[in-house]
Structure 1
Amino acid sequence: MKKLLLLFGVMALLTYTSCNDDDDHYSLNNFWLSSGTISKEVGSFYVTTDEGKKLWPSATNVNVSLLEDGMRVLVNYTILGDANLDSAYDYLVKINDVSQILTKPVFEFTAQTPDEVLDSIGNDAVTIVDTWFTGDYLNVEFEYGGGGSVHFINLVYDQENSETETGEIILELKHNKNMDRYNYKQWGIASFDVSGFKIEGKDEVDFLVRSKDKDGEYGYNKVLTYIFGSSETAALMKSNYQPNKKINFSWIK
């Protein structure tokens, strides 16, 4: 479990503009919010969004020394223009801010796992908003109630209850609120490394991803197909993105 290093700016709470060909890309009054991966180069970096767009930072407010190659991030950027046709990039952008996305392995447990470890994983309500793959990462967008202390978020695999009757591997999002009060709804994203579930001789595997709601029921049950090494991803932010979501990634780990 590691704390997040970078906090997302308050401006992310104020507005959101969907990035598509019908928008005024080049207005300096617009900014976009995308999930993506950092590629670090000597003295510089670029971002590949989960939709496959490569962003070259012609200008940035971010300290490059805080970034690491392969870091999963939410990036807030303003499009300055299209890159040249012969360029490896899609857009020239100004990077307004980034926040590191929590990145973790899947937690596996057995009948021999100590009770104190299972208790630390927790069984508090959490709502999955969306799920999608980026390479070998299963990304989970989620909401939970809190606001006063650090919460624990994990994706778990129970080796004693590992598959559905139809063969999907069961992965469950678990939440420990650490006795925090429900002050307001918060929002987060975590990326979980699922590369350990690759099966020799196959090029894909099915997961059933689920989470329990406040009534103790599985309010989210979705089958996802993990295609090994695939670049196919689902868009993170939709047109109904709610700008009043609380974005404070220092409160999950």
Structure 2
Amino acid sequence: MSVAGKHIVLTGASSGIGESAALRLAELGARLCLVARREPELLRVRDAVLEAGGEADIYPADLSDQEAVGALAQRLLDEQPRIDVLINNAGRSIRRPVAESLDRFHDYTRTMQLNYFAPVQLTLALLPRFYAQGAGHIINVSSMAALIPTPRFSAYTGSKCALDGFSRTLAAEHVGRGIAVTTINYPLVKTPMTAPTRIYRYLPQMDRRKAAEWMVEAIARRPVRMTTYTGRTWGTATAALPGPTVRATGRIFRTVGEALRRRAERDSQA
């Protein structure tokens, strides 16, 4: 299946993976609806798409606001005669141990709103259009953190696990109806969202242009899941042997985290 000519709604399009995906999809002939909170950044990405010979409309919307999500969905349905693909890419990450989150329940609610409730709300709103067309594709951007035990990311991981569960059920219910559901469980990707965490500079990070190519491949092949070999293997081990895997993962993260923290401190003092 070709990307050319497809009408694609892409959230989180103003930076990071979303920006790179917008430019790559435009190069391949997709017609884009770019969604993000910051209108100036959306205009910048749209201009880059137009300069590359692509087509794009912008839809500024704060996906952390349920009313704004509803208004966005209605605008899309009113203004776009066809929607072929919905890419739920917008998200937030919070890195904080549970023991330091005891008075920060709001971290969990705001992460769930953007990473889970907004994608679900958009999906539910656009599904009737897919039914009427007899075809559609939902791509939910998740993380390897949803497949493996990941210390310090309880709010983020919880939201992505919820999205993974919704995606699996949605995919199973729509087998044979022309509507595909793909979950992309990315590894760590080098984006503005990861930049504030100092120790990430010492870890392998996927280039966001490669992450964008994963989206292209997802649209072309429509797999149920895309992730790395490590994600598949570690996820399988966690499902088959949760006790030993969780204990081993906790020790590994603690040891590696302490080593990276010491290295970052030495570099900052140098």
TM-score (norm: length of structure 2): 0.30
TM-score by length of 1: 0.31
